[in-house]
Amino acid sequence: MTEKTQGTSRVKRGLADMLKGGVIMDVVTAEQARIAEDAGAVAVMALERVPADIRAQGGVARMSDPDLIDAIRAAVSIPVMAKARIGHFVEAQVLQSLGVDYIDESEVLSPADYVNHIDKWPFTVPFVCGATNLGEALRRITEGAAMIRSKGEAGTGDVSEATKHIRTILGEIRALSAQSPDEWYVAAKELQAPYELVAEVAQSGTLPVVLFTAGGVATPADAALMMQLGADGVFVGSGIFKSGNPEARAAAIVKATAAFTDPAAIADASRGLGEAMVGINVADLPTPHRLAERGW
**Catalytic amino acids?**
83
255: left (phi over 0), alpha (psi -120 to 50) or beta: alpha
What is the nearest approach in angstroms of another protein to the Cβ of residue 43? 8
Closer Cβ to another protein, 99 or 244, answer by number: 99
Q: Is 216 part of any known ligand binding site?
A: yes
Report yes or no: 49 and 283 within 8 Å, Cβ to Cβ. no
What is the nearest approach in angstroms of another protein to the Cβ of residue 252? 11
Closer Cβ to another protein, 113 or 263, answer by number: 263
Closer Cβ to another protein, 14 or 274, answer by number: 14
Closer Cβ to another protein, 248 or 258, answer by number: 258
Nearest to 96 by CA among 139, 56, 144, 57: 144
Binding site for another protein (CB under 8 A): 1-8, 10-12, 14-15, 17-22, 37-38, 40-43, 76-79, 96, 99-102, 124-126, 254-255, 258-259, 265
Nearest to 143 by CA among 103, 108, 183, 189: 103
b/e map 252-265, b = 16+ CB within 10 Å: bbbbbbbbbeeeeb
What is the nearest approach in angstroms of another protein to the Cβ of residue 284? 36
Which phi and psi angles does 88 have, rounded to 5°? -90, 80
Q: Is 238 part of any known ligand binding site?
A: yes
Q: Is 167 part of any known ligand binding site?
A: yes
Q: Is 74 exposed, middle or buried (0-12, 13-18, 19+ CB in 10 A)?
A: exposed
As annotated, the binding site for D-ribose 5-phosphate includes: 26, 155, 216, 237-238
